[in-house]
Structure 1
Amino acid sequence: MVFIGGLGRSGTTLLERLLGEVPGVVPLGEVVHLWERGVCAQEPCGCGEPFSSCHFWRRVGLRAFGGWSPGLADRVLTLRRKLDRTRHIPALARSHRRPGLSGYTRAYSRVYEAAVQVAAGTVVLDSSKHASLAFCLSTSPVVDLTVVHVVRDPRAVAHSWYRRVARPENGARMTRWRPWRTCVHWIVQNFAFELLARRGGAVVRVRYEDLLADPRGALGMLLTRLGFDGAADLPFLRSGHLAELSTAHTCAGNPMRFTTGPLPLTRDDSWRAEMARRHRWLVAALTWPLMLQYGYSVRERQAVESAAAPWLAAGGVAAQECR
């Protein structure tokens, strides 16, 4: 299975929607939130139907567990609170397994197995993002895990987290962070995926800016790395920067998961004009080592320099190769 990781607002949902159009790929959204937002809160699937009314998720639940139930969700959420936490990553990296971890990962593997069978696909796509869940899944003997690590200029990420955005599922506001807090999460999450790669995990890095600069080229290279050599024609890309999206049965994620039809693939650089200068300086001051490692200039240039370098870098490879 393919796990899309990275800090939220980095383009992970966009990448999932694009990869989800590839034949054989089964996109599920953020499965980490399935239990609370889907089973318990009955928030809508990406198809627009309430979770329990979606024919896809009904069949997945029946095949995986004999049906969804609040009791099942409560058990998985209890294990998540105990095990799936960023502070446990160092212990997981040392292969220290806590009680209940196998049961927790087994719940996910059953969802993945059932989804592939119901959709008649070949690989499942989970865009849960969280590095802690990726580390948990890496301990499972039945999950063949490949992580696609998505990074984006931290100034753009901080600006996005500082915006006020409503969730279409319930009208509530999405979580909003101050720039310094976004910096902490950006550093921790990216370092965690670097650690997973150094521990031998299969990690492929993709930059948001490179994906939007050349969607066809970046996706083609990524799919080759993931073993989808026959999907390089990418018929859903109508032109260089326009994608045609179909309905996806995603259980949680960015509001983009509800989008169908033509989607312009344009880079959001609104932070350059809208972000306060003091916030830009603060983010750059706190994150500059990783910014440079990922090929971002601390100076605010109009374009991120990447044309002469590859779009993708394997985890564990020298960071300069990702520029």
Structure 2
Amino acid sequence: MGPTYWLNKQEHRCSCGAPAEQCDFWRPVLTTMRSLDIINPTLPSYYLDAYATVLAQFSKLYGKDYQPIDTSKGIKHLKLLAASETIDAKALFLIRDVRSYASSQARLARSQPRKGLKKVKGHYWYQMMRWLSDNKKRESLLTDLALPFETVGYEPFCFNPTQTLDSVYNFLALPKTLSNESLGKSTHHVLFGNPMRNCETRKTEIRYDDRWFSETNYMLAAALIPTLMQYNQARVYASGQ
């Protein structure tokens, strides 16, 4: 959606708590985009011009002592960043345990009205194979783009955040923060995406959805596809060992 849409959508709030029209970050960005006529996503220069506007406002608001973290996960975004001659980008490849992912995605699929072949999305084996295929594609893309990246296991991050973050800070060449630093003090402006971005209790601490611990549906697929579990162990847990 273009800038006018977000500026007029008062009921949709940024993770800072304000709608885009009142947000210290997004209001200047979207207003500038509109004034510069950066409003048509079909134009070849749209994303580069929009991204330049975002970075200019970030620099103006936070200065040179902060680094922007882009939470986008789209392939288009990665390709644009890698091709840029002015942006020094590094990627964090966050990868979740296949059993947790399959449990979550299969549960979501079963809760939605699906017919015919689409019902296959409610099966663990389908979601586990999708996890393997998609993550290998992302890994290959990052390599092909020659974009520096660090693989970060979601489970090690949740259960041992200090060690995981130390590795991340080293990769990004950033100073480490105190291990007891409160997440509630973090600064973020996530306008859309994660539905938990506006949950006051959940965005102040690290929580892990462990419902898959009591499930067994994934066991047959895990036993029949050993290469999948080997990949899972190597990518998700290697950094936490």
Class of the TM-score when normalised by the shorter of the 2 chains? 0.7 to 0.9
| C-alpha separation in 2, matches of 1:118 and 1:56 | 8
Question: 1:144 matched to which residue of 2?
Answer: 88
Distance in 1 (CA, whole Å) between partners of 2:143 and 2:171 is 18
**Residue in structure 2 matched with residue 106 of structure 1 by the alignment:** 49
1:295 and 2:233 matched: yes
Distance 1:252 1:244 in 2: 19
Residue aligned with 2:233, SS:
coil
Quote how far apart the aligned CAs of 1:245 are: 4.5
Q: Match for 2:154: what amino acid?
A: Y
**2: distance between equivalents of 1:44 and 1:206?**
29
**Contact persistence 2:25–2:57 (CA under 8 A):** no
Give yes or no for contact 2:8–2:21 (8 Å, CA) kept in 1. no
- Structure 1 contact 37–252 (Cα < 8 Å) conserved: no
Structure 1 counterpart of 2:196, which letter? M
Structure 1 gap ranges (5+): 1-32, 80-99, 166-175, 238-242, 298-303, 312-322
Which residue number in structure 2 is paired with residue 215 of structure 1? Answer: 161
TM-score normalized by the length of structure 2: 0.74
The percent identity for this pair of structures is 25
1:269 aligned partner, one-letter code: D
Change (3 A) 1:266 1:44: closer
Structure 2 alignment gaps of length 5 or more: 110-118
What SS does the corresponding residue of 2:239 show, helix, strand or coil?
A: coil
Q: Which has the higher strand share?
A: 1
Q: Does 1:187 align with 2:116?
A: no
Give me the whole-angstrom Cα distance separating, in 2, the residues matched to 1:58 and 1:235: 32
Question: Cα distance 1:162–1:141, how it changes in 2: closer, same or farther (>3 A)?
Answer: same
Kept after mapping to 1: 8 A contact 2:152/2:239: no
Higher helix fraction (1 or 2): 2
Indicate which of 193, 212, 215 corresponds to 1:271. 212
8 A contact 1:148–1:205 mirrored in 2: yes
Residue in structure 2 matched with residue 255 of structure 1 by the alignment: 195
Q: Secondary structure at the residue paired with 2:78?
A: helix
| 1:250 Cα deviation from its structure 2 partner | 1.2
2:161 aligned with 1:161: no
Summarize deviations over 1:226-251 as a string: whole Å, max 9, x none. Answer: 0112x3424524xxxxx445563211
Is the contact made by 2:81 and 2:87 (CA closer than 8 Å) also made in structure 1? yes
Deviation of 1:266 after TM superposition, in Å, equals 4.2
Does residue 45 of structure 1 match 2:14?
yes
Q: What is the CA-CA distance between 1:207 and the residue it aligns to?
A: 0.1
**Alpha-carbon distance, 1:127 to partner:** 0.9
Q: Which residue of 1 aligns with 2:68?
A: 124
**Preserved contact between residue 58 and residue 67 of structure 1 (Cα < 8 Å):** no
TM-score (norm 1): 0.58
Distance 2:185 2:107 in 1: 26
Whether 1:59 aligns to 2:59 is: no
Of 103-112 and 134-143, more deviation after overlay is shown by: 103-112
Q: Say which one has the larger Rg.
A: 2
Whether the 8 Å CA contact 2:3–2:30 is kept in 1: the answer is no
Q: CA shift at 1:268, angstroms?
A: 2.3
Q: How large is the RMSD of aligned CA atoms in angstroms? A: 3.7
- The answer to whether the Cα contact below 8 Å between 1:131 and 1:192 also exists between their aligned partners in 2 is no
